[in-house]
């Protein structure tokens, strides 16, 4: 699986994770699980709020769906699976709400685009790595915007990181960067494992064997063959055979031309 294929399937997987995160956020109530039931039914509250807004057609359902999906994926970015298992070992619903979107995105992308276990694993890991890179750079992007808006007189990057680190250390006991890296990489590994499983189920050794046979046949066809004897004047000579490279007379059965050494 080439790098370009891994990249575009990974990008599709990143988009696919949004509706799956909606499921965890809205159906499994991931927000309530993470906050210890401090906030319950956030998805229902969003649906109710948008039902009061006069939106045309499908937008009335689509906009709340996207907002809930984004809120769900934000929770998946910042709360690692090991955090849930360590601090909430008895909360199976929370662990399931974190694992399920990554599991399904790896399964779906591998089922659609991958034909081998390696391809499925690479795609799943690529999804996690891409999110880790993008979200990990987020504070530095904010810093660049502040510097551009204030002419370089804004808060220093370390002050920005102190804000993020203080916020996430309070929630996950991890600095911002480590929370993002562990969350996304753990999720990417989950997606990669299940993607590899689907890829192995789709793998067909016969196709690879057939491809190898075709390549060998093509290579054999391209090798120079001993043709009917023709002298330099173009007339047929039936008294022997000649090397197709240097036209020297050779003995039938010789593997190589005694004059130029070409394979016969």
Kindly report, residue by residue over 197-251, the tens digit of the pLDDT: 999 998 877 655 555 555 666 666 555 544 444 444 444 444 567 888 888 888 8
- Report yes or no on 260 lying in a domain: yes
pLDDT: which is higher, 1 or 228: 1
Does one domain contain both 146 and 66?
yes
- Report yes or no on 101 lying in a domain: yes
Q: What is the token pair recorded at 17?
A: 């994770």
Confidence of residue 33 (pLDDT cuts 50, 70, 90): confident
Nearest-angstrom CA–CA distance, 258 and 132: 64
- Report yes or no on 201 lying in a domain: yes
**Domain carrying residue 74:** 3-209
The most confident of 25-39, 72-86, 148-162, by mean pLDDT: 72-86
- Residues 45-73: what's their mean pLDDT? 85
- Report yes or no on 217 lying in a domain: no
What mean pLDDT, rounded, does the chain reach? 80
Contact 121, 196 (CB under 8 A): yes
Q: What percent of the chain has pLDDT over 90?
A: 20
- Report yes or no on 203 lying in a domain: yes
Contact 81, 191 (CB under 8 A): no
> Three-state SS across the chain?
CCHHHHHHHHHHHHHHHHHHHHHHHHHCCHHHHHCCCCCCCHHHHHHHHHHCCCCCCCHHHHHHHHHHHHHHHHHHHHCCHHHHHHHCCCCHHHHHHHHHHHHHHHHHHHHHHCCCHHHHHHHHHHHHHHHHHHHHCHHHHHHHHHHHHHCCCCCCHHHHHHHHHHHHHHHHCCCHHHHHHHHHHHHHHHHHHHHHHHHHHHCCHHHHHHHHHHHHHHHHHHCCCCCCCECCCCCECCCCEECCCCCCEECCCCCECCCCCCEC
Confidence of residue 35 (pLDDT cuts 50, 70, 90): confident
- Residues 181-185: what's their mean pLDDT? 93
Does one domain contain both 74 and 18?
yes
Least confident of 47-61, 144-158, 240-254: 144-158
Nearest-angstrom CA–CA distance, 116 and 119: 5
Confidence of residue 61 (pLDDT cuts 50, 70, 90): confident
Least confident of 94-103, 137-146, 155-164, 242-251: 155-164
Confidence of residue 156 (pLDDT cuts 50, 70, 90): very low
Q: What percent of the chain has pLDDT over 70?
A: 82
Does one domain contain both 198 and 235?
no
Does one domain contain both 107 and 135?
yes
How many domains does the chain fold into? 2
- Report yes or no on 41 lying in a domain: yes
Does one domain contain both 9 and 107?
yes
- Report yes or no on 239 lying in a domain: yes
């Amino acid at each position: 699986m080439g790098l370009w294929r891994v990249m575009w399937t990974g990008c599709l997987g990143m988009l696919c994770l949004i509706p799956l995160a909606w499921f965890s956020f809205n159906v499994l109530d991931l927000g309530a699980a993470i906050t210890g039931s401090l906030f319950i039914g956030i998805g229902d509250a969003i649906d109710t709020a948008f039902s009061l807004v006069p939106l045309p057609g499908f937008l009335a359902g689509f906009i709340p769906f996207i907002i809930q999906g984004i809120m769900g994926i934000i929770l998946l970015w910042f709360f690692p699976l090991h955090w849930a298992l360590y601090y909430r070992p008895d909360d199976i619903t929370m662990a399931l709400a974190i694992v399920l979107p990554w599991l399904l995105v790896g399964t779906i992308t591998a089922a659609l685009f991958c034909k081998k276990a390696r391809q499925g694993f690479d795609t799943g890991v690529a999804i996690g790595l891409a999110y880790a890179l993008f979200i990990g750079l987020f504070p530095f992007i904010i810093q660049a915007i502040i510097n551009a808006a204030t002419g370089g007189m804004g808060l220093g990057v370390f002050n920005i990181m102190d804000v993020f680190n203080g916020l996430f250390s309070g929630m996950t006991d991890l600095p911002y960067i480590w929370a993002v890296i562990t969350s996304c990489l753990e999720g990417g590994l989950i997606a990669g494992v299940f993607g590899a499983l689907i890829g192995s189920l789709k793998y067909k050794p016969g196709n690879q064997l057939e491809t190898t046979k075709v390549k060998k046949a093509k290579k054999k066809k391209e090798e120079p063959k001993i043709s009917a004897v023709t002298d330099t004047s173009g007339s047929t000579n039936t008294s022997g055979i000649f090397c197709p490279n240097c036209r020297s007379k050779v003995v039938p059965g010789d593997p190589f031309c005694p004059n130029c050494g070409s394979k016969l």
